[in-house]
A and B are shown apart, each in its own frame.
Chain A
């Protein structure tokens, strides 16, 4: 039996004057799925994620998350989802523990100390709980950002380039943590990434965007087969360059 849909996007558009950042896209994601939102720079990934988070209002179209109309019932939906991005920061002068405490309370987490202790152990960040966020390395900050995103045990977790700027070891640990969380909680993960091997490893669904439109969807293996390529890296290049499936480029 198919899993219930937790993200439904219909005819979603975002226009800035004559620029169509996102142009009438449709997609749906089932509960427990790990889905990648792919595309080159300017394809509309960040715009789409921002609309899913209610940070950006669509020009037209509908978003339903966990059965709720997203812009209208934003507060109800946002308490059940979360987001992590290396491009959105936490206050530098606050300690890691202070930052996480504030967000735990914002998300209505019960037993804040216990939750922080658990995440501290799982993400191996408890050693620098008392350090100012600004004094952390990029890898440490990414783990703290993920801890913030997992505070409310979200049913939907949106991730913007979750392993960007991480060394291979830390990146691998992050993927391991995400896989474990997804497996244990049955949460839905939607990630924007430029790391195609990561996508192949983590995701069971891919949505490819190009110039604000959905140009391909499917499982990574299915797309590799459909495009007649050896991996997602090549599929990505085909789609980013506007090459039709099966087309041979000299």
Chain B
């Protein structure tokens, strides 16, 4: 088997950039929801800050939560929605009869997901500074670790969701939107994991995002960086991403056996 080619990955990434560039509405849409969420939670923070000891200590707690959550959400969506576009455009068969390898397709999807996440969340992060005086970059260097961990988890879920849609058809597309919200209550975005019932906590600690949000609270409230949290999250991400890649590749292989790639192209 020939190796992974950066040239082919670049070619596909270029295609996704062309697609993004072809519609200004899409670029606006990328930033729309993260910005609306940020505005909403900014007002909630203002209101609650006067009634909560925790929030009066760190007014950015909820805003940081919502912005970091959007990194996870946008990275997952950025990968799976672009993959769905291949299916909608009936272009997947066209790509897979080129020398492109499925692993190269995965890397290209990841790269465009990164671009879409940076655009979408980046605008909301920058607007939070003039709107509420909250600068996410005040988290310092740990922010890079949080970002990486959430991005990797988003990709893992995005690949699993894409595999599901490739296997069961576009009818399963709504799972792309729903899947990540099923995990939201477990991740401790706005509250510590200790708030969850005891039986749910082991499940929460099995998610990389839980370590990120706990770690974020420790930085904001105690001004301490928990490197162990970042490391646990990274190890879990490696496992989930490995699983996501394997499931996606196996689904493409299975589609070649079942002939469904052919049907998606006709």
Whole-angstrom distance from the CB of A132 to the nearest CB of chain B? 8
Could you give, for residues 84-125 of chain A, a 1 whenever the CB lies within 8 Å of some chain B CB and a 0 otherwise? 010111111110001001110111100000000000000000
Chain A residues with CB under 8 A of B15: 91, 94, 98, 102
Complex Cα spacing A102 to B253, Å: 24
Whether a CB of chain B sits under 8 angstroms from the CB of A173 is no
Complex Cα spacing A94 to B89, Å: 11
Q: Are B96 and A105 in contact (CB under 8 A)?
A: no
Whether a CB of chain B sits under 8 angstroms from the CB of A56 is yes
Q: Which of A75-83, A162-170, A199-207 contacts B (4 or more CB under 8 A)?
A: A75-83
Contact for B262 among A50, A82, A103, A106, CB less than 8 A: A50
Number of A positions contacting B (CB below 8 A): 35
Compute the total of residue contacts between A and B using a CB distance below 8 Å.
97
Number of B positions contacting A (CB below 8 A): 35
Q: Are A56 and B256 in contact (CB under 8 A)?
A: yes
Residue of B nearest to A79 (CB): B99
Whole-angstrom distance from the CB of B107 to the nearest CB of chain A? 14
Given A55-B256, A78-B97, A106-B99, answer yes or no on A87-B266 (Cβ-Cβ < 8 Å).
yes
Chain B residues with CB under 8 A of A47: 259, 262
Given A90-B94, A102-B14, A105-B7, answer yes or no on A46-B89 (Cβ-Cβ < 8 Å).
no
Chain B at the A interface: mostly helix, strand, loop or mixed?
helix
Q: Are B8 and A106 in contact (CB under 8 A)?
A: yes
Chain A residues within CB distance 8 Å of chain B: 14, 16, 46-47, 50, 53-57, 73, 75-76, 78-79, 82-83, 85, 87-94, 98, 101-103, 105-108, 132
Chain B residues within CB distance 8 Å of chain A: 1-2, 7-8, 10-12, 14-15, 18-19, 22-23, 85, 89-91, 93-101, 253, 256-259, 261-262, 265-266
User: Can you list 27 A-B contacts with CB-CB less than 8 angstroms, sorted by A residue number?
Assistant: A16-B259, A53-B97, A54-B96, A55-B93, A55-B256, A55-B262, A56-B261, A78-B97, A82-B97, A83-B97, A85-B265, A87-B265, A88-B91, A88-B266, A89-B265, A90-B89, A91-B19, A91-B85, A91-B89, A92-B89, A94-B22, A102-B12, A103-B11, A105-B7, A105-B11, A107-B98, A132-B22
